[in-house]
Every structure is written in structure tokens, then in C-alpha cells.
Amino acid sequence: MQTVVVTGANGFIGSAVVKELLSHDVYVIAVSRKSSNLPKDKNLQFIPLDMKDMHQLKELINGKTPDIFYHFAWDGSAGEARADMSMQLLNVQYTVEAVKIASELGCKRFVGAGSIMEKEAYSSTMAQGNKPGRGDIYGTAKLAAHCMSKSVAASCGVEHVWAVITNAYGCGEVSPRFVNTTIRKIINNEPLSFTAGTQNYDFVYIDDVALAFYRIGEGGKPFNEYTIGSSKAQPLRNFVVEMCSRLCPEREPNFGDMPFTGVALPLSDFNCENTSKDTGFKATTSFAEGTYRTMEWLKGL
């Protein structure tokens, strides 16, 4: 791996992956609307470009031929925007177009960023009699992007590798997702109310996620899917207890105060064995340590 393209390079995960790639002396062509989260580095070329204008990329990369095309650009990955159907359908279209652009650039490999919510959405929408939630629109869009981009990659002669992120968290994230929301409640001394927490979950710290993408880009097998997680998936309740024990040991979380309306996934859906076997990746940051680092970062905002 010598030269790569990274879309969504200014985002939470994209910017972390860029920094990881640079640490391995990889030349990075970073594509994003903004560059505020990106470092100054001799091996980084920033190209301010919206996904709708990605057809211009070939003219802007200074004649370089990338080895790998990492695609992280995705609007509406958290909050109410997950239910914005028009936005999510555009994300699918842009992912498929990104594969075509990767082929035009001469990339050998396309690495897409998937989500465990693909599996949740499939289970939720296909379960007889179940009423899917609006958030499943995001998950089904990710699943559609996964399947469509894989088919297009095969027809373009580009190796397709898909990484399924369980739940990334850590310093640099500002979205209203579970870990961030819970830590903010702890900081603001707000009530700690949760579901019964019996549904299986996993969380993986951002530094580990970035390393996983580097390893998957290098060692992942073509047309394979790799789960990025801590390899310690368990009921959500256990994660909450671990977080609270480290961040606010004097407080007790309240389980069962909120209803759970989703579909519980089996532990097998969080299995990271293939990722470890094929790429050598293994997460090293404990949830307690990762949430502590995240809280200290949030306090400084």
C-alpha cells in the first residue's frame, strides 16, 4: 500500500484512518468538504470535493495512481437524519459511484465502511409481524450500498472489501450516539436511565477502528466482509456497568426505565475471528479506558 484515496476524510472515522495511514508512511489523497480534522503532512493531499462532484477527482490527484480507495463519506449516520430517506438513498448512489471512480483511477481495491446496523435492519425488516423503526432506513441503506457496490466492483474488476463496524466511539466524535450521550449525562449529572440492557452489543475505540481499516486494506481477502469490534461482545448492560464503574462509581445506572423496541442480534453477528485471522487485527483498548479518554476529551470542548 503506497497511495490511497480516502473519502469522508474529515469525519470522525475517516480522519482517524487518515492519521493511521500517514503513520505507516502511506500517501493519502484526502477527499472531503472540509479539512479541519486533518493534519499537515507531506504525504497528504487534501482535495475539497463533495460526493456529487467526485467525477472531477481524476483531474485533481496530480497524476497519482492509488492502490486502495477507502470510502467513508456518508451523510446522516446519526440522529434523526438516519430516517431521511432521500439522503440515505443518495448515500447508496454515491457509494456505487465511488466504486466506478475507483476503477477509473486504477485502484486495485475498494474498502467500504459498513455498519452492524445492516444486520439489525435486515432482522428488523424481515421478521414476520415486526414493525421496523425509522432508524432502520439508515441500516437498509448501508446494506444496499454493501450489496450494490460489491456487484459493481466485480463487474469493474476492482477487489471489494467491506468492513462492518460494530459501534465506534472515542475522542473526536460529537454525534448524539449512545456512548457520547451517556457520557454527557454523566458529566451533567443527569439521570442514567437505560433499557433492560439484555440485547447484545459491542463497542470499539476509534484508535482500534483506524488500525483495523489499515490492516483490512492491506490484508483483507477480496470480496470478503470483516467485522471491526472489540471481540468482547456481550449484553449492553455489562458495558454500561463497566462505563459507570470507571466514570461515576458513586452512581447507579437504572435499567428497565426505557423500552427496547429494536431487534436483538445473536453474539455470532459480532464475531471478529475472520478479521483477526486474515489481517492480524485485535482491539487493545478496554471499554473502561476508552470511555475515560472520551469523557476527558468531551470535558475540554
Grid cell, residue 218, equals 492491506
The DSSP element (H or E) to which 207 belongs, if any, is helix 206-219
Least Cα distance to 226 among 272, 269, 181 occurs for 272
Domains recognised in the chain with CATH numbers: 3-170+203-232+270-285 (3.40.50.720)
What is the model's pTM? Answer: 0.96
Q: CA 55, 56, 57, 58 torsion: positive or negative?
A: positive
Grid cell, residue 147, equals 450489496
- pLDDT, residue 215, reads 98
- pLDDT, residue 1, reads 86
Quick check: 119 pLDDT over 90? yes
- What separation in angstroms does the CA of 129 have from each of 82, 124, 126, 261? 23, 10, 9, 13
Rounded Cα–Cα distance for residues 31 and 49 (Å): 6
Residue 32 CA, chain-centre distance (Å), reads 16
- 7: three-class secondary structure by DSSP: strand
> pLDDT tens across 244-287, in order?
999 999 999 999 988 887 788 999 999 999 999 999 999 999 99
To the nearest whole percent, how much of the chain has pLDDT over 70? Answer: 100
Mean pLDDT of 282-299: 97
CB 10 within 8 A of CB 18: no
Helix axes 136-156, 85-105, angle to 10 degrees: 20
Starting at the edge strand that comes first in sequence, how are the strands of the sheet with 68-71 ordered? 44-48, 27-32, 3-7, 68-71, 109-115, 159-165, 224-228
> pLDDT tens across 162-206, in order?
999 999 999 999 888 999 999 999 999 999 999 999 999 999 999
- pLDDT, residue 285, reads 98
| Burial category of 74 from C-beta neighbours within 10 Å (exposed 0-12, middle 13-18, buried 19 and up) | buried
Rounded Cα–Cα distance for residues 141 and 301 (Å): 32
Residue 209's pLDDT band, with cuts at 50, 70 and 90, is: very high
What are the percentages of helix, strand and coil residues in the chain, rounded to 5? 45, 15, 35
- pLDDT, residue 66, reads 97
> pLDDT tens across 11-30, in order?
999 999 999 999 999 999 99
Q: Which positions ≥6 away from 237 have C-beta within 8 Å?
A: 194, 196, 197, 198, 255
